[in-house]
Amino acid sequence: MLLSKLGSSDRKRSTRFAKAIVVVTSMATGTAIATNACNVESPEGTGGTDVTAGACGRGIIVVNSDYQSTNLSLVAIDGTVLSSSFLSSASTASGLSAPLGGDVVTPTQWQRGDEIVLLDRYPASVLTWVDVRSSTPTGQLSLATGFAANPRDYLLLNPTKAYVTRYQPNLAAGTGNHDEGSDIVVVDPLTRAVTTRLSLRSAMQDAPAVYYPYPDKMLRVGNEVAVLLGAYSSDFMSSASSRIVRIDPQDDRILEVVVLDGMHGCTELALSPSEDEIAVSCSGEFAGDSVATVAESGVVLVSAKDEWKERRRFPAAKFGLGPLGSGLAYASDTTVVFTTAGELTEAGDTKREDALLVVDTDSGQFEVALRSSAKPFTFGNVRCASRCAVCFVADASRSAGVVHRYEVNEMGFLGERQEIIVDRTIGLPPRHLGWF
């Protein structure tokens, strides 16, 4: 029927048909053009750096994040921005099979080699090796083994061996290799593979069975390794005292467990410049609340000479600024820099700001160096290089996000401050710092 009608079309109708075809074709062409024009594109990275390491390494890696996506910047020791977008969540085209998520950190340890390691914690659970010069990812390793393992720290022991702490226990373990979680996995950085795992369950013998070890930061102390363990129930509603586990990396054997009695939610670990003392920062117990308890929070100093034992502690109540935050570093052998966490009212207004403090570990004298400018929970990591008398602090609120660079004076306290805007490419605020 249709064909018969087409056959009987007169000239006028043919002209209309031609017009209709022209209109439809024009629309289709316009559509094709608009299709490309309307796509969105992520910004390009600014590459790596070939700066050579000095007495204090090459500088700091700044992790800028809004907890949804991440951008990494590189900053020299003198505060010069070496690369504002070294690698980011947009870097899928450069070889990442798993793009960076919103919960990325760097190891506590200095990373002096040609590659730096990134830990994409939760839920991705992926290690990523990146070439410093080209900013190209050279390898990735998933540590999920069937569950969101939440890797927290990476410690390179030798070219073929590294420790990685996995924070999360796997309550449904038994379906794959190394799938128990709440442990240390031994990784071969050359083959990018897990070789074995080290259970930390025995470090919890003094605590009720409901508490799991939640391994967090690690440090190399001489020939041994210090691992910080949180102790929580699987629903995080209650906790036990945190502890430091002393491990011999030659045979992956636990040598000693130092229980930090009454200190809960310990998350940060720092080594003194003379390497004979460890400082631990404890946030307290959250128990389902957004504000931790002050009574279980503080800074603990542990002697790391022959026998590891607690030397001194500074409860958070001493400072009167709330529980401790996520920053901790030695500015000198006798001064420790740390942060406290602020608080919001129920309406979401600022009740108490974050604070940056320095305490003299011999005299106990302390001073508040800085407070957050607008919102709490915006002070991030603290890193200090005593050899170069400098400290860096991540601040996500001041000037929409800066890294503070402090000169350290001869007393070990913080002196002149410089604000560095490190991420001019994307504009994410700095949260975490690492050495490279």
Partner 1 sequence: MLLLGNAGHYIRPPTLGELYGTSPTVRGTPTLVAENGQNLDAGVRLSKEGQTSTDLAAHLEAFVFSRWVNDLIAYQRTSFGVIRPFNVGSARFVGIEIATRAVWLNHLRHDLTVTLLDPRDTTDGNALTNDILPFQSRMMLSNRFEVFSEPAWSALRLDRAAIALRLQHRSSRFADPAGLIVIDAHTTFDVEESMDFFDRSLSVRLALRNLFDQPQFDTVGYPLPARSYHATFEAWF
CB atoms near residue 283 (< 10 Å): 26
d(CA 89, CA 98): 9
Closer Cβ to partner 1, 72 or 117, answer by number: 72
In order of 11, 22, 30, 44, 326, the CA distances from 16 in angstroms are: 9, 10, 21, 49, 73
> Binder to partner 1 among 428, 431, 432, 433 (CB under 8 A)?
428
- Quote the least distance from Cβ 197 to partner 1, whole Å: 24
Q: How many residues bind partner 1 (CB under 8 A)?
A: 45
Contact status: 223 vs partner 1 (CB under 8 A): no
Q: Residue 26: enclosing H or E segment and its boundaries?
A: helix 11-37
> Binder to partner 1 among 47, 54, 66, 134 (CB under 8 A)?
66
- Quote the least distance from Cβ 378 to partner 1, whole Å: 13
| Interface mask toward partner 1 for 37-56; x: CB under 8 A | -xxxxxx-------------
Stretch that binds partner 1, among 95-103, 134-142, 317-325, 333-341 (CB under 8 A): 95-103
> Binder to partner 1 among 7, 288, 320, 348 (CB under 8 A)?
348
Contact status: 4 vs partner 1 (CB under 8 A): no
Stretch that binds partner 1, among 26-34, 72-80, 266-274, 326-334 (CB under 8 A): 26-34
**Taking CA 265 as the corner, what is the angle to CA 293 and CA 201, rounded to the nearest 5 degrees?**
140
Contact status: 20 vs partner 1 (CB under 8 A): yes
Contact status: 189 vs partner 1 (CB under 8 A): no
In order of 108, 155, 305, 324, the CA distances from 364 in angstroms are: 26, 31, 22, 16
**93-115: b or e for each residue (b if 16 or more CB lie within 10 Å)?**
eeebeebbbbbbbbbbbbbeeeb
Contact status: 122 vs partner 1 (CB under 8 A): yes
> Binder to partner 1 among 73, 83, 89, 145 (CB under 8 A)?
89
Contact status: 5 vs partner 1 (CB under 8 A): yes
Q: Which stretches does DSSP call E strand in 109-259?
A: 115-120, 126-131, 137-142, 151-158, 161-169, 181-188, 193-199, 212-221, 224-232, 243-248, 253-259
In order of 22, 55, 334, 411, 415, the CA distances from 386 in angstroms are: 74, 11, 11, 12, 13
- Quote the least distance from Cβ 335 to partner 1, whole Å: 32
- Quote the least distance from Cβ 301 to partner 1, whole Å: 32
Closer Cβ to partner 1, 35 or 363, answer by number: 35
Q: Is the dihedral of CA 246, 272, 284, 360 positive or negative?
A: positive
Q: Are the CB atoms for 184 and 177 separated by under 8 Å?
A: no
Closer Cβ to partner 1, 71 or 135, answer by number: 71
**Residues lying near partner 1 in the complex (CB under 8 A):** 1-2, 5-6, 13, 16-17, 19-20, 23-24, 27-28, 31, 34-35, 38-43, 66-71, 88-90, 99, 101-103, 122-123, 348, 400-401, 425-429
